[in-house]
Structure 1
């Protein structure tokens, strides 16, 4: 058995070193060997104090999540931590890097804590559908107070060393020589009695303030089961004796491990980790180009947002717009953003000024000559984009990467306007670009491997979930969005109301429904897309011309105060509008459709099953590399509820036979709509297979 915990001596001090790369997870083997080393050190009369530290770049970033799908295995972490806390010799935790989950609970069980300045602290268990299960809800409020514990336990807040010192989570900060500093301190405290967190009372706090903040946090986490249970366990810390509170916490933790939401969130965790590994593999498989300076063409909201995203990562950026007024509006967006960050305390004045200065402005395309990467973010029109790329082909230096931020258009057609199609790639940011995590990196058959690898690597550098997708209408995300929107339109024809459909989709866990989303992004955008794809629409789609009717009436969505809904001045939530109700009545009458009641279950199935079917088509066509890519695109770009694991994970829970049967029935019932059930989906259903388990 490899040693994952090593016991060393420095005179009278025992040093217990955890070495379980890459993140020193508290696996069963680590727990066993840590227990063995503890027994040895505590039983040695010549040892006066202990230091627990870790090798590598981090302390302990949590448990071994793979073990959560296995039966509980001794030694259990709470028992191990109880042994540490009850030790008669002082135990010091030397902390650096990520001190997360079980790693933070380990630190809390120690009697003293010191940390390097780079350390970060968190109890992120709720993000995995769990609650802390080894004392996090009981020790943290005793050490740091109920309000600080609330933010970390229920809100999943990550804090830095300065904040940890302020709230009393750590005792000292050291600039260098963490391990030797911990050993020196161990000599100082060796003769003191151990300071046990469990024996400390919870500091007095304002219950009204606590309850108000708890309600705010839970309102943002609607639909998730773990946060209210974490709150319940946290509240018991002030109501129950320590041992009873620990037992209550453990009972909830064990029950949560096999809950559907915990399983779904573990799927997401491993999907994100697998994607990161693929991005690293891309970088290893091809040489990457250096991207030190970037130019963004188009100073609208998207272009300005991309510039902010780059500047926030420390990349010098040139924002270009040939229209002086548009450029000034872009400059104002940037300045207001950083001023707002300053006022909210997110940035100090020096940092806000530094980031602001990273963005320069120009009105000529020739100014991009020195850029390593040029991102076009102009109007969503193929002819306009091709003209921009013709000019960029003249001005961009050899080896520069040329990227288009198109949402739907053919990247190959855009690349054809240049003499260097291998250097052209799609970078589909999601709005607002400085906030949204998803980045679809659209590869064409001509793109060079090093260009793809370089852009994927940049996406990771920007903190994005960067997913490589093939070139097709709408790529992965918007192609699925289009079929959901089409089906939602058919539901309106058949008798549903916009508010019915939106309520059901929100109830599933999306932040907004299809028609609320359409009003937000603009009816005119949908109208323009339909005009561009008129030749590709089925007859049934052309007859379902609700978008054209709204556009003709000047109802463009929130921007005009009316779309599928009516918007009062200053309100972002729309209200049902008689105009739309009457429009639907007249539309059905002209089409000869007798409206019928449509239940919530049918609305949900119709909207989601067509997306699952289209996702299967994407996999068949090689547009995406992995089932996980579909799930991550919709989790990070479209608000699919994370606690349901993603679209195709959800399909597996429903059952592919159920999905395929429903689609086949609809294909027969609505033959004129041309529903083509994926052959892959049908085969998998017949063979009893699933997307996420093969």
Structure 2
């Protein structure tokens, strides 16, 4: 008998227990164990019903996605779950924790389902660029109807037990011990003489409306999941449940699954799945290093960023003291925080009691002495070095020994800031992204003297406040903003050449970026980047065209959305962006004045110049050791910069294009454009000429 799957029979009820920590994933040992148990049960007469339970904190929470790359050894999921469903005696699944993916597919192959009241059940495979390939596309429509099943799988969001009961996904919700409830349910089935109720034998209840449902879902996918293949193939597979016999539907599902598993989309999403977990592996953080406790936090600055950061900690029950120069600023900041929480209450994601509880964790002061017992202080003020130095000197004077001093700077030298204090080992960069209470990325910037326990504390803290923490070393702009610099430079340069902002952003958004770069500048405030360049003149080349578009807009006080005009106009009632002929004319005239060669770059050139310049800068970051791994860069850009996950991040995308292709194009641009910006990074050149990839470079560093 498998160590991870065991069978016991008591009072003629067979209990099948899966015990494979941490999440009972349907890997090969679990599949082999289940196959052995259910094959055994097929030949036994000493039981009247079976219950499938999982040990630990959750029911089966998915499959082992690493097997898509190493090869899935038999028994395959479809065959195994068919074996479970074919059992001659009733099989009851006892669901607790999160039943996801293969876990939900196993549950649907069982004849009945009892769920713990806190259980969550779902089919999130699209988030990995695949479809439920273990019978899920065929059983879900038969169990809950085609339309409801489409909702479940296209959203990818697990539903709570109560909703699952309403849908018909489970038969009973247990108020107490779910395993005991499932056992009682099995005994009840036996007492009532009920046999197996196989999902494969059920009719799709809304099959008569299938054509209408499918057309609506195809339109939905085309609008909301453009450039992706897996959602369209999912609709095709699920449509088969309403038109084909179960066995034929399973075959179609298997064929589609095989097509998708090794496509770029699925490989990109698997890459990010593992990359998200790799970011915590930092050289120098050994098992003997312990994180420092974070029991009270101080935030300096009650503005948008400071308020958002304060919410991150209040959300997890940590008291926060906000410091600002005036009571007026502090009260305004608290008011904005309250409004943010009130919006959550109105959406139903927060209760009124939770709102008051979180607001109760926030205190304010104009006196730094209020932080005398804080474990962590985070400065979140304007990007001015002298201001930040003054704040850190004040913090150094009042914070207790062992407290961590964090700065939210997005570009400034953290080592210079740390030198203001007597404890540079306690200083770290904590670059949140706006709005800080929403955006998932946190760049954790390790200074030259930052201690390893401070770095570990920051990584642990990121996880606690539900952020993806990625470590960067110190340089201008760190990982994200440094790579955005050439990206934006090329976008602005092409506007001077003759493109319109809509040409640039349309190409980028059509390719998959959440928002075009010029629209991003309008949203963030065009003066933000302009002020950064003014504060860092050493970073600005002797080139009058360099970010000239932004400088012109700032000179005219057209700062983006907040002023109603930037690269676009925002004067319609819905505040949607619209072309601004005056701005376009001004920028094209400025290009002529600066003798910028006039041209009209097409979509391909726009994408190549924006993306390849970013990738080239990423290669420099890897060479310099600013980013530890190419995959870390991919996490930064997909978590914080709107890079489409289905393309895997800029460095993974580069590998899919081919580094030689990108290298050759950069060399070509060096001949036709400004060569100071178009010189291949040495690492890119080395990898391209050797036929290697960034992924292989990552792997070689681990050896």
TM-score normalised by length of structure 1: 0.94
Question: 1:136, 1:153 within 8 Å by CA — same for their partners in 2?
Answer: no
Alignment of 1:130 with 2:130, yes or no, is yes
- Correspondence for 2:168: 168
- Correspondence for 1:524: 527
* SS class of match (1:512): coil
CA distance in 2, matches of 1:457, 1:675: 39
Alignment of 1:573 with 2:576, yes or no, is yes
- Correspondence for 1:479: 482
Unaligned runs of 5+ in 2: 698-703
- Give CA-to-partner distance per residue, 1:345-403, whole Å, 9 cap, x none: 11223223322322223332221222111111111211111111111112212211111
* SS class of match (1:693): helix
CA distance in 2, matches of 1:327, 1:210: 53
CA distance in 2, matches of 1:346, 1:148: 22
Alignment of 1:684 with 2:660, yes or no, is no
CA distance in 2, matches of 1:266, 1:681: 24
Q: 1:120 to 1:541 in 2, by over 3 A?
A: farther
CA distance in 1, matches of 2:213, 2:298: 47
Deviates more, 1:236-245 or 1:41-50: 236-245
- Correspondence for 1:441: 444
- Correspondence for 1:284: 287
1:486-525 map, 5 Å? 486-525=489-528
Offset at residue 512 of structure 1 (A):
1.4
1:447-486 map, 5 Å? 447-486=450-489
- Correspondence for 2:157: 157
Question: 2:299, 2:321 within 8 Å by CA — same for their partners in 1?
Answer: yes
CA distance in 1, matches of 2:33, 2:501: 60
Select 1:199's aligned residue among 201, 220, 225. 201
CA distance in 2, matches of 1:195, 1:645: 42
* SS class of match (2:604): helix
* SS class of match (1:92): strand
- Give CA-to-partner distance per residue, 1:82-111, whole Å, 9 cap, x none: 222232201111222221101110001111
Offset at residue 164 of structure 1 (A):
2.3
CA distance in 2, matches of 1:487, 1:437: 27
Question: 2:544, 2:594 within 8 Å by CA — same for their partners in 1?
Answer: no
* SS class of match (1:518): helix
Offset at residue 548 of structure 1 (A):
1.7
- Correspondence for 1:188: 188
* SS class of match (1:442): strand
- Correspondence for 2:77: 77
Alignment of 1:112 with 2:116, yes or no, is no
Question: 1:470, 1:622 within 8 Å by CA — same for their partners in 2?
Answer: yes
1:4-83 map, 5 Å? 4-70=4-70, 73-83=73-83
Select 1:659's aligned residue among 659, 662, 669. 662
Offset at residue 343 of structure 1 (A):
1.4
Offset at residue 466 of structure 1 (A):
0.3
Q: 1:275 to 1:534 in 2, by over 3 A?
A: closer
CA distance in 2, matches of 1:330, 1:220: 35
Alignment of 1:361 with 2:364, yes or no, is yes
CA distance in 1, matches of 2:377, 2:495: 42
Unaligned runs of 5+ in 1: none
Question: 1:539, 1:673 within 8 Å by CA — same for their partners in 2?
Answer: no
Alignment of 1:693 with 2:685, yes or no, is no
Question: 1:5, 1:19 within 8 Å by CA — same for their partners in 2?
Answer: yes
TM-score normalised by length of structure 2: 0.93
Q: 1:651 to 1:35 in 2, by over 3 A?
A: same
Offset at residue 579 of structure 1 (A):
1.6
* SS class of match (1:412): helix
Select 1:226's aligned residue among 219, 225, 230. 230
Question: 1:477, 1:634 within 8 Å by CA — same for their partners in 2?
Answer: yes
* SS class of match (2:444): strand
Offset at residue 521 of structure 1 (A):
1.0
CA distance in 2, matches of 1:286, 1:436: 29
- Give CA-to-partner distance per residue, 1:534-568, whole Å, 9 cap, x none: 23311125655222211111111111111111122
Select 1:252's aligned residue among 248, 253, 256. 256
- Correspondence for 2:392: 389
Question: 1:493, 1:544 within 8 Å by CA — same for their partners in 2?
Answer: no
Offset at residue 217 of structure 1 (A):
6.3
CA distance in 2, matches of 1:67, 1:403: 40
- Give CA-to-partner distance per residue, 1:253-286, whole Å, 9 cap, x none: 222112221111111112112225x279947341
- Correspondence for 2:273: 269
CA distance in 2, matches of 1:380, 1:569: 32
Q: 1:605 to 1:245 in 2, by over 3 A?
A: same
Question: 2:408, 2:429 within 8 Å by CA — same for their partners in 1?
Answer: yes
CA distance in 2, matches of 1:620, 1:572: 43
Q: 1:365 to 1:132 in 2, by over 3 A?
A: same
CA distance in 2, matches of 1:350, 1:283: 41
Supply the RMSD in Å over aligned alpha carbons: 2.4
- Give CA-to-partner distance per residue, 1:457-492, whole Å, 9 cap, x none: 000111111011111110000000011111222222
Offset at residue 432 of structure 1 (A):
0.9
Question: 1:640, 1:646 within 8 Å by CA — same for their partners in 2?
Answer: yes
Alignment of 1:402 with 2:405, yes or no, is yes
Q: 1:578 to 1:177 in 2, by over 3 A?
A: closer
Q: 1:219 to 1:60 in 2, by over 3 A?
A: same
Offset at residue 598 of structure 1 (A):
1.7
